[in-house]
């Protein structure tokens, strides 16, 4: 069974109540929140109502909250290739 991975990327502030109601029905409350729903015509219709506000991908299985968090977590930003003492010893020995 496949699932829709739906992420709210734009805020619904200032939009009609009908639009905010669709987001609420999908379970999207905050920006960058992600929910998973099975692929059905009902859910597809709800997505079409708010297509400007969300991003949608079809996935094989629904991920847990921890798995979604780990996917969004950035890399550490740097990698230690050599320690300073090792570099100093290489320079002095050559």
The pLDDT tens digits of the residues spanning 72-82 come to 887 777 766 66
What is the average per-residue pLDDT within 41-57?
96
User: The whole model's pTM is what?
Assistant: 0.75
57 phi and psi angles, rounded to 5 deg: -135, 150
Q: How many domains does the chain have?
A: 1
What angle, rounded to 10 degrees, do the helices at 17-26 and 41-49 form?
Answer: 140
- Which CATH number fits the domain that encloses residue 47? 3.30.1390.20
CA distances from 41 to 4, 11, 18, 30, 38 (A): 11, 24, 19, 24, 10
In which residue are the tokens 């002095």 written?
92
Confidence grade of residue 94 (pLDDT, cut at 50, 70, 90): low
Residue span of the structural domain in which 8 resides: 3-93
| Residue 86 confidence (pLDDT) | 77
Rounded alpha-carbon distances, angstroms, from residue 9 to 6, 80, 86, 93:
9, 35, 46, 56
Q: Pairing mode, if any, of strands 3-8 and 34-38?
A: antiparallel
């Amino acid at each position: 069974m496949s699932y829709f991975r739906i992420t709210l990327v734009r805020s619904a502030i200032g939009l009609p109540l009908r639009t905010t109601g669709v987001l609420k029905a999908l379970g999207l409350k905050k920006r960058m929140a992600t929910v998973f729903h099975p692929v059905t015509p009902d859910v597809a219709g709800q997505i079409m109502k708010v297509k400007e506000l969300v991003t949608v991908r079809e996935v094989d299985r629904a991920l847990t909250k921890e798995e979604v968090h780990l996917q969004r977590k950035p890399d550490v930003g740097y990698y230690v290739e050599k320690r300073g003492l090792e570099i100093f010893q290489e320079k002095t020995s050559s």
